């Protein structure tokens, strides 16, 4: 019965040697210099290369999209060069590794933005407090993204995807879950827009679609995946009709022909 777990699996252009995947886990070890991967991370991922595929910890696509202390990024040449030996280590052990591309949206605290407010789908505020290098601080009210913000952020995703390819990764995964930016657009508790990016489930998937199209243009659909979390509240991001919202989202994923979809497991309260 358990033999299937150890059988190879084909996902688009990816050939995993078994069906055990390592989930993305934020470790907060990219501390010196800040946001730059290091040797400890290389050891960590090499030790886990026996998985069919590793999904990296969430990795920031831009300075304005990363607000977690010591999380890694992928927007600079320095970061690309630092990721290369990590990827090579996984490959030397016979493993696959995909980079998870991350923009936190309203979850970024102004501490990381030179005092400026973060942006999101709409002018909303996350509950609770943010982790910062000087301790926990209350989240700020985000400003609604303009069309220029949207266009620039899609370009940031494209650049990050290009950098992940330069670093030697086997695939990329869009982080569309857990109450971060893509999720903030998807769900109607945080997306209050009345333009082409808000209102209907189809409109609320537009930002996700445009980001995915940019990534697919770099990687091809057969090496692109996404993570979604249709299972209740995530950092204050919730939806009045999850079947309609995530039905529309999965239709986009199907139309684009992505290699894989990861869904977050429901919490104790279920879906």
**What distance in Å separates the CA atoms of residue 24 and residue 27, rounded to the nearest whole number?**
9
pTM: 0.96
Of the candidates 263, 259, 261, 262, the residue with the CA atom closest to the CA atom of residue 10: 259
**What distance in Å separates the CA atoms of residue 80 and residue 146, rounded to the nearest whole number?**
29
Residues labelled as active-site residues: 180
CATH topology of domain 3-263: TIM Barrel (3.20.20)
In tens digits, the chain (271 residues) has pLDDT values of: 578 999 999 999 999 999 999 999 999 999 989 999 999 999 999 999 999 999 999 999 999 999 999 999 999 999 999 999 999 999 999 999 999 999 999 999 999 999 999 999 999 999 999 999 999 999 999 999 999 999 999 999 999 999 999 999 999 999 999 999 999 999 999 999 999 999 999 999 999 999 999 999 999 999 999 999 998 899 999 999 999 999 999 999 999 999 999 998 877 765 5
CB neighbours of residue 110 within 10 Å = 16
């Amino acid at each position: 019965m358990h033999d299937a777990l150890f059988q190879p699996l084909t996902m688009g252009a990816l050939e995993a040697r078994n069906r055990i995947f390592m989930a993305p886990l934020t470790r907060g070890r990219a501390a010196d210099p800040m946001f730059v991967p290091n040797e400890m991370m290389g050891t960590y991922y090499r030790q886990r290369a026996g998985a069919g595929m590793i999904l990296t910890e969430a990795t920031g696509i831009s300075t304005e999209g990363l607000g977690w202390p010591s999380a890694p990024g992928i927007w600079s040449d320095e970061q690309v060069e630092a990721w290369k030996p990590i990827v090579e280590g996984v490959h030397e052990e016979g493993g696959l590794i995909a980079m998870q591309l991350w923009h936190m949206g309203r979850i970024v605290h102004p501490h990381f933005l030179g005092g400026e407010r973060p942006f999101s789908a709409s002018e909303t505020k996350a509950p609770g407090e943010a982790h910062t290098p000087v301790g926990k601080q209350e989240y700020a009210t985000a400003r609604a993204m303009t069309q220029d913000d949207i266009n620039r952020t899609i370009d940031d995703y494209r650049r990050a995807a290009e950098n992940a390819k330069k670093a030697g990764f086997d695939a990329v995964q869009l982080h569309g879950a857990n109450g971060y930016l893509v999720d903030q657009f998807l769900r109607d508790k945080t997306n209050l827009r009345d333009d082409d990016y808000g209102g209907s489930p189809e409109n609320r998937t537009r930002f996700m679609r445009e980001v995915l199209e940019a990534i697919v243009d770099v990687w091809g659909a057969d090496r692109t995946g996404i993570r979604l979390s249709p299972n209740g509240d995530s950092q204050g991001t919730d939806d009045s009709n999850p079947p309609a919202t995530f039905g529309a989202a999965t239709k986009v994923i199907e139309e684009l022909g992505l290699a894989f979809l990861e869904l977050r497991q429901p919490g104790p309260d279920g879906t």
